[in-house]
Amino acid sequence: MKIQKYHVDAFTDRLFGGNPACVIPLQKWLPDDILFQITKENNLAETAFFIPIDDGFHIRWFTPEVEMDLCGHASLASAHVIREHLHYKKDIIYFQSASGDLQVSFEGDKYVLDFPSRIPVKAELPQIIKESLNIQPSEVFLSRDYVLLYESEEEISTLKLDENKLKQIDLGHGGIICTAAGTKSDFISRFFTPGASIFEDPVTGSAHCSLIPFWSKKNGKKEQLAFQVSERKGVLYCKDEGERVSIAGQAITYSVGEIFLPNSDQK
């Protein structure tokens, strides 16, 4: 059995920037163990699979370790594949997902993700995370992810986390967001996933489900420019919509290929 595979860099307009994701369109679901094996073979932070349904697509996201409840960059990459490679003609792409109904619209060369808002609340930082940090945050919040607020962009750029120490903690689908006000953007961030094969995620759309309402409340802005300042770097155009957030970004295809699988019954 032969299936198509697309490798897309999301939240960037240049190759080797943003966050890479594999996107695999299917007609019917393969068994979960096969989806995991494909994801591990791809060896990227996320692989997105989708199948067509009546009014759009059912999308699922996998890391080499777990199936995720939400992934922004792989959703953006999927929308790019659907529009640019599968030649989808409608103005909006509708996704059914583990996080409910999602949609992607288009603004010029940008893909606009309509995602749920996840407002973080004040929290205590687990001791193991505190011990892993070379710089302590000024405040700590929690939604799906821990949100660590820092005083400056310089602190974020010099921040180091002890990956080996953090392997002792299980955050489920969550991670650790470190954020501060930006000098050339409204805010910046970095995102870490303890225990994952890729410790620092290059650009994390789902983290901005929390960052957008968090910073909107702090600076009073509904529309904001965000940079994720990993080595690959990413740009996100953000809007607080109340119970929803809009996260826009660009994407570029790195490669298109084929996967050859033994014959397998699809679900």
Domain spans of the chain, in order of start: 2-115+249-260, 121-240
- pLDDT tens digits for range 57-112: 999 999 999 999 999 999 999 999 999 999 999 999 999 999 999 999 999 999 99
Where does the pLDDT of residue 262 fall: very low under 50, low under 70, confident under 90, or very high at 90 and above? confident
Cα 116 to Cα 235: distance, rounded to the nearest angstrom: 19
pLDDT recorded at residue 264: 58
CB 241 within 8 A of CB 117: yes
CB 209 within 8 A of CB 147: no
What 3 state SS string does 135-162 have?
A: CCCCEEEECCCEEEECCCHHHHHHCCEC
Give the tokens for residue 218: 């702090």
Identical fold between 2-115+249-260 and 121-240: yes
Which residues are identified as catalytic?
46
pLDDT recorded at residue 263: 75
Evaluate whether the domain defined by 121-240 bears CATH number 3.90.1200.10. no
- Indicate if the pLDDT at residue 26 is higher than 90: yes
Please state the rounded mean pLDDT for residues 33-59: 96
Please state the rounded mean pLDDT for residues 110-133: 97
Where does the pLDDT of residue 266 fall: very low under 50, low under 70, confident under 90, or very high at 90 and above? low
Q: What is the identity of the amino acid at 143?
A: S
Q: Please state whether the predicted TM-score (pTM) of the whole model is above 0.85.
A: yes
pLDDT recorded at residue 44: 95
- pLDDT tens digits for range 212-232: 999 999 999 999 999 999 999
Please state the rounded mean pLDDT for residues 155-159: 97
Count Cβ atoms below 10 Å from residue 53 Cβ, excluding itself.
12
Q: Which residues contact 122 (CB under 8 A, 6 or more apart)?
A: 139, 140, 141, 142
pLDDT recorded at residue 114: 97
CB 120 within 8 A of CB 142: yes
pLDDT recorded at residue 208: 98
Give the tokens for residue 222: 């509904």
Minimal CA–CA distance to 30: which of 2, 6, 8? 2
CA 68 to chain CA centroid, nearest Å = 10
- Indicate if the pLDDT at residue 48 is higher than 70: yes
Give the containing element (helix H, strand E) for 121: strand 121-122
Options 3.10.310.10, 3.40.140.10, 1.20.960.40, 1.20.120.140; which CATH number does 2-115+249-260 get?
Answer: 3.10.310.10
pLDDT mean across residues, the chain: 96
- Indicate if the pLDDT at residue 267 is higher than 70: no
pLDDT recorded at residue 265: 55
- pLDDT tens digits for range 168-199: 998 888 999 999 999 999 999 999 999 888 99
Q: Which residues contact 152 (CB under 8 A, 6 or more apart)?
A: 180, 181
237: β partners: 225, 248
CB 110 within 8 A of CB 248: yes
